[in-house]
């Protein structure tokens, strides 16, 4: 789940792919052993066929003087059939080897893509968690301020606003402008301002 994923550290996330990669390496090793066993079996079958064919040739040579043409034709037919079967077996062996390799590559690529998606999701969860924890720290720090200190800051802001308003009023009196009040976001009830028109002194 997202909650469990967000609790993982970077080392644990990277370690997940390390374990998965180890599993795929083991699969590759099993595939290598299977391919090697098939190659050994194929070589054994070729050796057996060669031995049988050699025995057949020796036997036919012994009686070749009886029906030379028929025996030669029979021998050619048998040799061709055996060689054809050997070629078929070799072709099948290569195709099976290629399929095994391709399947392991596809599975590994798909698993790595899923892991990368999970890592991106983990990063977003960790980022959101860090922002949330930071906001909680700020809220805790703000709530830890003593009430009296808050009152002092509030009084200071009030006095500061009054002083600013009086300064603006005095400045506009000096330049003989009409004093007006206008609302602002800081003072909805009105703040000292001026109508930007001169009056003769």
The C-alpha atoms of residue 25 and residue 108 are separated, in whole angstroms, by 10
Confidence category of residue 167, pLDDT binned at 50, 70, 90: confident
Residue with tokens 């997202």: 2
The contacts of residue 179 (CB under 8 Å, 6+ apart) are 169, 172, 173, 192, 193, 194
Q: Which tokens in the block code for residue 70?
A: 């028929």
* Tens digit of each residue's pLDDT (9 = 90 or more) over 116-142: 888 888 888 888 888 887 777 767 766
Q: What is the pTM for the complete model shown? A: 0.49
Closest Cα partner for 192 from 171, 174, 166, 173? 166
The C-alpha atoms of residue 152 and residue 76 are separated, in whole angstroms, by 113
* Tens digit of each residue's pLDDT (9 = 90 or more) over 92-116: 888 888 888 888 889 889 988 888 8
User: What pLDDT does residue 185 have?
Assistant: 52
Question: What is the mean pLDDT of the segment spanning 151-178?
Answer: 71
Residue with tokens 């805790």: 140
Long-range pairs, 95-100, Cβ under 8 A, ≥24 = 96/38, 97/35, 97/38, 100/31, 100/34, 100/35
Confidence category of residue 150, pLDDT binned at 50, 70, 90: low
Q: Residue 63 in contact with residue 71, Cβ under 8 Å?
A: yes
* Tens digit of each residue's pLDDT (9 = 90 or more) over 52-99: 878 877 877 777 777 777 777 877 887 788 888 888 888 888 888 888
Q: Residue 115 in contact with residue 20, Cβ under 8 Å?
A: yes
Query: Is the confidence at residue 177, as pLDDT, over 60?
Result: no
C-alpha torsion 31→34→38→40, nearest 10: 110
The C-alpha atoms of residue 2 and residue 113 are separated, in whole angstroms, by 18
**DSSP conformational letter for 190:** -
Confidence category of residue 192, pLDDT binned at 50, 70, 90: very low
Q: Residue 186 in contact with residue 162, Cβ under 8 Å?
A: no
43-57, 77-91, 159-173: which has the minimum mean pLDDT? 159-173
């Amino acid at each position: 789940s997202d909650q469990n994923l967000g609790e993982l550290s970077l080392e644990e996330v990277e370690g997940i792919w390390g374990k998965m990669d180890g599993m795929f390496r083991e699969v590759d090793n099993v595939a290598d052993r299977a391919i090697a066993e098939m190659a050994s079996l194929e070589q054994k079958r070729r050796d057996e066929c060669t031995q049988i064919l050699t025995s057949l040739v020796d036997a036919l040579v012994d009686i070749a003087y009886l029906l030379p043409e028929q025996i030669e034709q029979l021998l050619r037919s048998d040799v061709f059939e055996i060689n054809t079967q050997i070629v078929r077996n070799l072709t099948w062996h290569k195709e099976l080897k290629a399929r095994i390799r391709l399947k392991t590559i596809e599975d590994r690529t798909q698993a790595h893509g899923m892991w990368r998606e999970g890592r991106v999701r983990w990063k977003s969860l960790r980022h959101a968690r860090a922002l949330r924890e930071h906001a909680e720290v700020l809220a805790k720090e703000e709530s830890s301020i003593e009430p009296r200190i808050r009152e002092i800051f509030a009084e200071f802001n009030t006095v500061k606003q009054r002083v600013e308003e009086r300064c603006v009023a005095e400045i506009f009196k000096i330049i003989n402008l009409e004093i007006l009040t206008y609302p602002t976001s800081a003072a909805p009830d009105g703040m000292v301002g001026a109508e930007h028109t001169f009056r003769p002194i």
